[in-house]
Each structure stands twice: as C-alpha cells, then as structure tokens.
Structure 1
C-alpha cells in the first residue's frame, strides 16, 4: 500500500488552498470566475459527500468547501448525518479536534473564539504545511492508505459505513492525524500566521470577487442586461465583498444598495439598464477590484519568503 497515495479532488494542479487562484496553465475551467467555481465546487462537494449545506463552510477565502465540525456532529455520532463512507479517505474528514474546533484567541487580555473566516484560513494553512494537501499536484493525501487501508478494496466501504454507524473497528478508531498535522514546537503557529495575513486575505478576496463580477456583468452588458441580472450582481457583490470600502465611509454594499433602490426608476430597455444601473455597478466594482489588488501582491510576496 502506498502510504503517500493522493487523489486530485475539486482543485487543480498549481492551485493553493487560500483564495481561489488556479494556475491558468492547468485549470480545467480556465476563464471561469472564481465565484462560479466556488458554487460548482460546493454543489459537487455536497452531492458527493452527502453533507447538507448547513454542515459545510463555503467561503471565497478558501478554494475548497470545508466540513463544519463545531456544533454540527450530534453527541454519540462519529460524523455528520448523511456522510457517504467512500469519501472518508479525505483528510478534511479526519481533522483533529485542535484543528476542527475554533481556537480561543487572547487579545489585550480578553478571550474570544476564532471567527469562521479565521478558522478557514488556519485550516488551509495547516492542511498545506502538513502535506495533507499538495498545491503542486492539486492532490489530497489518502488517509486510509496512510493507515494501510485500501478504500478501493472489496468490502472496505461497507466496513467504513459500519464504523460510521457505531460499529467497533480498532483500526479506524486509531486513525488520528494530529501527529501528522500538529507542530509540537509551536502548535498555534497557524493562528499567528492567520492573524498576520488575515487583512490581506480578506482584501484579496474582495478584489477577486469584484474582478469576477465585472467579467460577468460585462458579459451581461453585451447580451443585453435584464433587471434580474443586475439584481443578482448586486446580491453577489453585497454578499462576498460588501464590506469593502470604496469612498470614505461608503462600503460597496451601501453603494450597491443605493443602485438597487434606484432600479425602480429605470425601464426594462436593455440599453437603459446598461447605461444606467449596470454602468454604476461596474464603476463600484472596478474601484474595489483595483483598490484591493495590492493585497494579492502582498500575499504572493509573503509566500515567496516562506
């Protein structure tokens, strides 16, 4: 059994876990906006894992959906309801408690739990640093193979299903990735790194989202936009980059709300929609895309020094 067997899943060779920035030379969906990829990956993840969307964290900060551990696994159960056994090779299904649960952060003598965004960044950092995920190949380590279990062998999926339902299995009970993932010298290193890069990851995601929405909106403009098209661009921009500041105390979400409030004054003529509200949306998104692009350069520079 190859204890270093990997499977390419959802991500492409050359793609890191932080943000969604595929290598254009290896990207199977080259030209597809990152926010569209995010939606596709979430749909594939839920369909293939059997997890409900409530049990999944999907954020533009991380290139893959993440299973939500905190408060989502019922007492006495080994994993989430509906989880399909054939995906139990994936390292994200075996996160040690230290990584699966939010970290208690001390700031100015006060304690608080990690936010979901901080946690997602920490998971991405630790999965990459430990080799559980390999950005060069886009491959995830096969946890079963690491423990000399061939999940493709006859009967193994049924065995895992029985274990998920509560059956005793000493080999599966003994699987623990903590020794492979955790650093004995500095167990909270990823918490510290996440704090350093957090602002740039957030800002970088805003820039990527705005750039993607510009691409989509320009396509709508060529085809002839509808009111529904513009409302959807506004919704996505507010959801994924709404906190981006575009002018003094004006956020992107606030500017998009202003545009949305004025939609009722515009007719349904595509040219009127293109030259009016859609142009205003594009202007706001362009400010965000340009203003926060430096964050992506900052992250690249930091990665080059590691």
Structure 2
C-alpha cells in the first residue's frame, strides 16, 4: 500500500450519499459521471436515493464483477469502479411460499433502491467516502499508482482491455469494506430504511421539481415557448425520478403516465401549454404532499438520533 490520497468528485463537504432534493443536480451528475467514467449510460444507475450515480457491474467468471472495458483509465482512481463483489453485484433472494409448506417458489433480485442504499451505507462506513469533507479514497494512489500519470494510465488501459498486471490484479477493497463479524449488516439496514427512504425521496424530489419549475417561470416568464421547453425538460426529469410512485389510490391515476401525456401534449401544436403546465405542477405537488409524512418521519428520526 502507498499514500492515502483523497479526491473530490461531484460531492461537496457535509454531503451525505443518501437522498437528493435538487432534480437538476440529479440529472447533471448523471451526465458528469458518464462523461468522466467513460461508461455507457445504460451501465450507470441514476436514482434520487443516491447523491451520486452508481456504475452497474456485470457478473463475469467465478462470480466476479467484469472489468470496465470502456472506462476512462484516468477515472479508475474512483472506488466505485472497484467495489468488491458483494457490493458491486446484487443479492438474490429466495421467495418462500408460506402457504405451501415454506417451499421455495422463485428467486428475486435486490431492487435498485435496496442496492443504492446498501452501497451508500457501506461506502460511508468503510471511509471510502467521507461525508465531512466530501472526498473519496484514491484507490490507485492507495496501491502506488498515479491516475494522472500517462504511464500508469497506459497500464490501467491495458489491464481494462484484459491484460495482466501484478498490481491491478491484486486490488481488492473487500478488507476495507467488509465487516467480517457481520457481513450482511448493510443489507439488513437497507431493508429497514427502504420503506421510509423511498417515499421520503418521492416527496423531496417532487417538491424540488415544483420549486425548480416555479423558479424558472419567475425568472423567464410564461411565454408559450418557455412553458413548452420547461415542461419537456422537467417532464422527463419527473418521469425518471418518480417512475416507481404508485398510482393515486383514490383516482387510479398513474402519475408517470400522466406526466408522459402532459409532456407529449406540450410539444403538440395547438395545445395549451399554460393549462398543461398547471396540471403538471398540480400532479407533482400532490406527490410531494402525499408522501410528506414519510419525509417528516425521517426528519424526526434523525432529530431523535442527534439528541440521543
């Protein structure tokens, strides 16, 4: 091992890895991560539950994550590119049918939400990410390499392409991340948190969307052109960030379907963008209000933890 070097990337001092309130930052960080990492967009998960996008690994030989063949060698300093197998890959669950003698009926895979929460918990617990100063461990520097050195970049590039390298072959963050006496602590914690964090995030990001739209309209006016452009952009953001919000139990309205209709209609000549924008804001504000109790409950839990 070599020097302990830390770097900043996207996150700032005092920023936790769970929950995102700024819908535009959620999108711009995804673009920034894709650009910096060199990974294709389909190999990166953006969820407002996580303050940073997460690379989605594929399982290779012997159950190990495959190398990031398309990655930018200069970005391989980032610990997200070196997550150990238990963290880079999803857990699979046996689904037990309690009504038929407890037989195994099927297997299910860890959801995006559960995985994102688990990754965030282990990154912070291990020190790979430090929320106090918003820095990440430079994995390459930790193993004696310099991500900014062209010679070391060439070594990394050849290794990513499948070559052997005595140093890179041995990089394994398991000893830093794992808790040997309780290897599934983060899985249990994520299972406990997901029921509160997911609806709290819906409320938080929905309120952020409304605030962003209203701020933009106040700054730029409500011309048809502005309304159509803003509804097109924010409609796409809302559809992505709120894609798993359930349909309204009272009306049966599916929010994502409604957002899609409004967004598409806003680009149709002859439509009323002012009416469509108002309908869009009402629907998003309803999501924020419906799940506000979860956000308040989360805030109360944090307050109690601080007072304890």
Q: Residues 231-246 of structure 1: matches in 2 within 5 Å?
A: 231-242=232-243, 243-246=245-248
**Secondary structure in 2 matching 1:170:** coil
Q: Which of 101, 104, 107 is the matching residue for 2:92?
A: 104
What is the TM-score of this pair, normalised by structure 2? 0.81
Distance across 2 between alignment mates of 1:286 and 1:16: 25
Q: CA deviation at 1:79?
A: 1.7
Runs of 5+ in structure 2 lacking a partner?
97-101
Partner of 2:290: 291
Residue 17 of structure 1 and its aligned partner are, at CA, apart by 1.0
Match of 1:250 in 2: 253
Name the structure 1 match of 2:47. Answer: 59
- Alpha-carbon distance in 1 for matches of 2:174, 2:40: 26
Alpha-carbon distance in structure 1 between the residues aligned to 2:182 and 2:95: 18
Give the structure-1-normalised TM-score.
0.81
Q: Which moved further from structure 2: 129-138 or 240-249?
A: 240-249
2:278 corresponds in structure 1 to: 279
RMSD: 3.1
Conservation of the 8 A alpha-carbon contact between 1:206 and 1:244: no
Q: CA deviation at 1:163?
A: 2.0
Output aligned runs, 1:65-84, within 5 Å.
Answer: 65-70=53-58, 79-84=67-72
Distance in 2, matches of 1:90 and 1:261, equals 39
Q: Which moved more, 1:131-140 or 1:158-167?
A: 158-167
- Distance of 1:123 and 1:41 partners within structure 2: 17
Distance 2:201 2:52 in 1: 14
Task: Note the residue ranges of structure 1 that are not aligned, 5 or more in a row.
Answer: 22-33
Matched, 1:163 2:163: no
- Structure 2 CA distance for partners of 1:155 and 1:58, relative to 1, 3 Å: same
Contact 2:57 / 2:65 at 8 angstroms: preserved in 1? no
User: 3-state SS of the aligned residue for 2:32?
Assistant: helix
1:185 to 178, 181, 185: 181
Between 256-265 and 78-87, the greater mean CA deviation after superposition: 256-265
Q: What is the aligned partner in structure 2 of residue 17 from structure 1?
A: 17
Separation in 1, partners of 2:92, 2:234: 36
Matched, 1:39 2:5: no
Q: 1:3 to 1:301 in 2, by over 3 A?
A: farther
Aligned to 1:230: 231
> How far apart in 1 are the matches of 2:167 and 2:233?
49
User: Mean Cα displacement is larger for which, 200-209 or 89-98?
Assistant: 200-209
Question: Aligned partners of 1:77, 1:280: CA distance in 2, in Å?
Answer: 45
CA apart distance, 1:83: 0.8
C-alpha distance in structure 2 between counterparts of 1:259 and 1:153, whole Å? 50
The 1:118/1:38 distance shift into structure 2, 3 A limit, reads: same
Q: Contact 1:144–1:151 (CA<8 Å) still a contact in 2? A: yes
2:109 matched to which residue of 1?
A: 113
Distance in 1 between residues matched to 2:232 and 2:115, nearest whole Å: 31
